[in-house]
Structure 1
Amino acid sequence: MNDTLSVSAPDSAPAFTAAAVWAVSLYAGAQLISNVASLKIGLVAGYAVDMGTFLYPITFTLRDLVHKVLGRGGARAVIFSAGALNLFMAGYLMWITGVPGDPDWGLNEQFSAVLTPVWRLVGASILAQIISELADTEVYHWFVKRVTQRFHWLRVLVSNSVSVPVDNVIFAVGAFGFTLPWSVVGQIFLFNLVIKYAVTLASMPFIYFVRERGEQ
């Protein structure tokens, strides 16, 4: 059974296979879920951490899957689409938290307290996501074209080793710089970096779940 959804696409366009649908859907879903989960500040090993930190890093590897099946152009399009989705979600949440709640419901204040967007955090998050994932795209592309098409796990490791710190520094400074003491910002950066890198290492095998573009 042919799992290619678009059989009439020109040779220059990537075929949108079932694997591509899965990769794009998981990437977008992980982006949105991790941003909602970030509203919860948990205590892990004595450190305060937003709970989206444990899911968000997997998006870098999922981006690599998208790149593998759709190419650099497809990966860029998905990155910008995810950024737009996150912005839309924040705007929609801002609107619905401003709508008067039904008195019989009784949870309007709690709902608004949790889900009303903090726009500095939203802006820092989206900016970090777009810039870091575009950097991931370029490093991944460079590795495949200039280094080797073998060792798929290594292309993930190399590209994520660039994009994860970029994401971390943009978000930490953009969200908390000049507001919290720089020592605290540094702690946030380092703790998140450790978690994100650990998730990167754990998620590297996912790159073998899809075939290279052109091999489907």
Structure 2
Amino acid sequence: MTAPAVAVGKIGNSVSRVGIAAVGAYVGAQVIADITSVKIGTVFGLAVDMGTWIYPITFTLRDVVHKALGRHAARTLVLTAAAVNLAMAAYLQWVARQPSDPSYALGNEFAAVLGPLWRIAIASILAEVVSELLDTEVYHWFVRRVTTRHQWARVALSNAASIPVDNVVFAVGAFGALPFLKDHPLTLPWPAVWSIFLVNLTVKGAVSALSLPLIYVSADRDWHADPEDA
């Protein structure tokens, strides 16, 4: 094997390792974000779901996977993570409903904390799928139609397009006075939903901006030569 071929092989292996690491980090961050989204905390006296502090990192991690492994891999990752989160919510619900052993004194606490609120869980998963698939298409459009330079710009643009969509779907789905959910205990007045949207948007935008350098952990791909991404 020639020296250039060996070098290319090493680069390919490095990119694959980075891509696999990003996949694991993405799914882990998604799971943590969905669990912590069940708690609504406060920031400067305003309501915010606590998954907001880690979830925005997934947009940039998705971009790293897209960069390292391609668009099809990124799409597969988004849908797989959604399936994992849905299975997790269902399993936690089942576990929370099982009778506790008499020697275990924290059964009620477990059910209260980890028995997911289905409305928040479904709204969160739906928001993730819609926004992350949008992120995939905007990112791909940028590198294919605009430029392969300025990697931070492709991440910033795709995140700027997808984060507001994520916020709208989550805030309205989890707390909005939708016609079939008006009597749900989580339904809030529209001003409160708007407040949650704005706070989440601000926090997610800031965390997303801080995560931009992650895109440089992987070498870039040849976008125009890769038939998978043509």
Matches within 5 A, 1:80-99: 80-99=79-98
Shift of 1:150: 0.2
- 1:209 is the counterpart of 2:217: yes
Say whether the 8 Å CA contact 1:76–1:134 is kept in structure 2: yes
Matches within 5 A, 1:2-21: 2=10, 17-21=16-20
Aligned to 1:58: 57
Correspondence list, 1:118-197, <5 A: 118-178=117-177, 179-197=187-205
Equivalent residue runs for 1:68-83 within 5 Å: 68-83=67-82
Post-superposition CA distance 1:156-197 (Å, at most 9, x none): 000000000000000000111102110000000000000000
Query: Contact 1:3/1:18 (CA < 8 Å) preserved in 2?
Result: no
Identify unmatched segments of 5+ residues in structure 1.
Answer: 6-14
8 Å CA contact 2:139, 2:158 repeated in 1: yes
Q: What is the letter of the counterpart of residue 153 of structure 2? A: L
Across the aligned residues of Structure 1 and Structure 2, the Cα RMSD in angstroms comes to 1.8
Percent identical across equivalent pairs? 55
Q: Number of residue pairs matched?
A: 206
Equivalent position SS for 1:17 = helix
State how far apart, in whole Å, the 2-side matches of 1:170 and 1:34 are. 16
Of 201-210 and 30-39, deviating more is 30-39
Q: Secondary structure in 2 aligned to 1:211?
A: coil
Say whether the 8 Å CA contact 2:168–2:197 is kept in structure 1: yes
Give yes or no for the alignment of 1:101 onto 2:109: no
CA distance in 2, matches of 1:44, 1:61: 24
Q: Deviations over 1:21-57 (max 9, x none)?
A: 1110010010001111223332322122222110001
Query: Quick one: which amino acid aligns to residue 43 of structure 2?
Result: V
Could you tell me how far apart the structure 2 residues matched to 1:114 and 1:95 are? 13
| Cα distance in 2, alignment partners of residues 128 and 40 from structure 1 | 17
- Partner-residue secondary structure (3-state), 1:48: strand
SS in 1 for 2:70: helix
Name the SS for the 2:121 alignment partner. helix
Matching residue of 2:5: none
Of 94-103 and 143-152, more deviation after overlay is shown by 94-103
Q: 1:214 offset after TM fit, Å?
A: 5.0
Give the TM-score normalised by structure 2. 0.85
* CA distance in structure 1 between the aligned counterparts of 2:48 and 2:194, rounded to whole angstroms: 13
